[in-house]
Amino acid sequence: MGKTVVTNRKARHEYHIEETYEVGIVLQGTEVKSIRAGRVNLKDSFARIENNEVFLYNLHISPYEQGNRYNHDPERVRKLLLHKNEIRKLIGKTQQQGYTLVPLKIYFTRQLVKVQLALAKGKNLYDKRQDLKRKSAKREIQRAFKDRQVGRY
């Protein structure tokens, strides 16, 4: 994986991640420049399969400052690039109850913009609470070990 531009931190909290895919995305020139500048927001974005093609919705890429008339619509629907067999597999999985496609991060691999797309299932409220408890317990253990090591020296 290349240089990460933006991550969707909320996705891991809201969903159980089943599988991840590295997919390409169809962009215009000014969009690539805005992504390079880090002016992109993955919050509330999702992917949907239509006519055997995958599209990304609610991805906000801010207009490029020097783009003038060549600028793009910040919220336009963008096509994702996957192999046919991956799309067929995703169609089968997303038709099952509760599965959805969520982008986890956008990054550069060489000069190409890639999206890490996850097949995910929504979490219940108690799952989210248990994750928070587990996270805070782990943090406490790490803190205790750190204090113990500092006390030895």
Asked if 40 contacts 106 with a C-beta cutoff of 8 angstroms, the reply is yes
Question: What predicted TM-score, i.e. pTM, was given to this entire model?
Answer: 0.73
Mean pLDDT on 28-43:
83
Q: Do 112 and 136 lie in a common domain?
A: no
H-helix segments, the chain: 9-14, 29-36, 84-94, 125-152
Residue 88: count other Cβ atoms within 10 Å of its Cβ: 13
Domain count, the chain: 2
In terms of Cα–Cα distance, which of 32, 13, 12 is closest to 116? 12
- Whether residue 153 is predicted with pLDDT greater than 60 in this model: the reply is no
Q: Higher-confidence residue: 47 or 122?
A: 47
Segments forming the whole domain that contains residue 94: 3-122
Q: Do 39 and 73 lie in a common domain?
A: yes
21, two tokens: 């895919």
Q: Do 132 and 117 lie in a common domain?
A: no
Question: pLDDT digit string (tens) for 61-115?
Answer: 888 777 677 676 778 888 989 899 888 888 888 887 778 889 998 998 888 899 9
Residue recorded with tokens 């093609």: 53
Residue 30: CATH number of its domain: 2.40.280.10
CA distance 151 to 153: 6
Question: pLDDT digit string (tens) for 74-83?
Answer: 788 889 898 9
